[in-house]
Amino acid sequence: MNMDCIENKLKECLSEERYKHTLGCAHCAIELAKKYNLDEQKAFLAGLLHDCAKCKPNDELLKIIKEELKDVDESELQNYKTLHAPVGAYFARTIYGIEDGEILDAIRCHTIGKVNMSLFEKIIFLADKIESYTRDKKYSEEIWEILNENNGEKGLDLALLRCFKETIKSLVNRELKICKTTIDVYNELLDKVKNI
């Protein structure tokens, strides 16, 4: 499926606001890929498809997870806001024809992260949180400042830690369950930045 077809299909599947966020994430992913010498076209595609399952009803997402996906941990099912990530990777492969494992993995872990994220997974995770089309500009600027003040993966880890802190606070404030993986990633990042 070529890029025009993908974009047209996403326009049909996503709300206007979600599609705007998707474009923002894709363009932010390009900026981050440039910064970290990664494949910009691949980053754009991962950013574009990261939320391809986001506008599906929760019961449909759960049905797909139950019937098609065997690698989804029970703890991931505790928060409805993360269900679209594993289904998104599944849709990217089965509907959009993506075979690149790096893209599929980045889509799969863009909500809760995972321990030992690759550089590519980290930039897609971050692009989702800091794109400038729909996200809070002050927050995005703060994360970019962290990235620009710290070189290489050190800056990424510090920026990710800041994002995970914000996510955990938000989940606590809304009295939503926190997936164990999110806590594991937070702890891993905390250990990494303390040893820098």
DSSP for 112-151, please give it. T--TT--HHHHHHHHHHHH-TTTS-HHHHHHHHHHHHHS-
% of the chain beyond a pLDDT of 90: 83
Mean pLDDT for the chain overall: 94
Q: Over the stretch 127-169, which tens digit does the pLDDT of each residue have?
A: 999 999 999 999 999 999 999 998 888 899 999 999 999 999 9
Query: How many Cβ atoms from other residues are within 10 Å of residue 145's Cβ?
Result: 12
Of the candidates 126, 127, 5, 110, the one whose C-alpha atom is nearest the C-alpha of residue 54 is 110
Of the candidates 10, 13, 29, the one whose C-alpha atom is nearest the C-alpha of residue 129 is 29
pTM listed for this prediction: 0.95
Within the chain, what is the greatest distance between any pair of CA atoms? 46
Query: How many Cβ atoms from other residues are within 10 Å of residue 37's Cβ?
Result: 8
% of the chain beyond a pLDDT of 70: 99
pLDDT at 77 over 80: yes
90 three-state secondary structure: helix
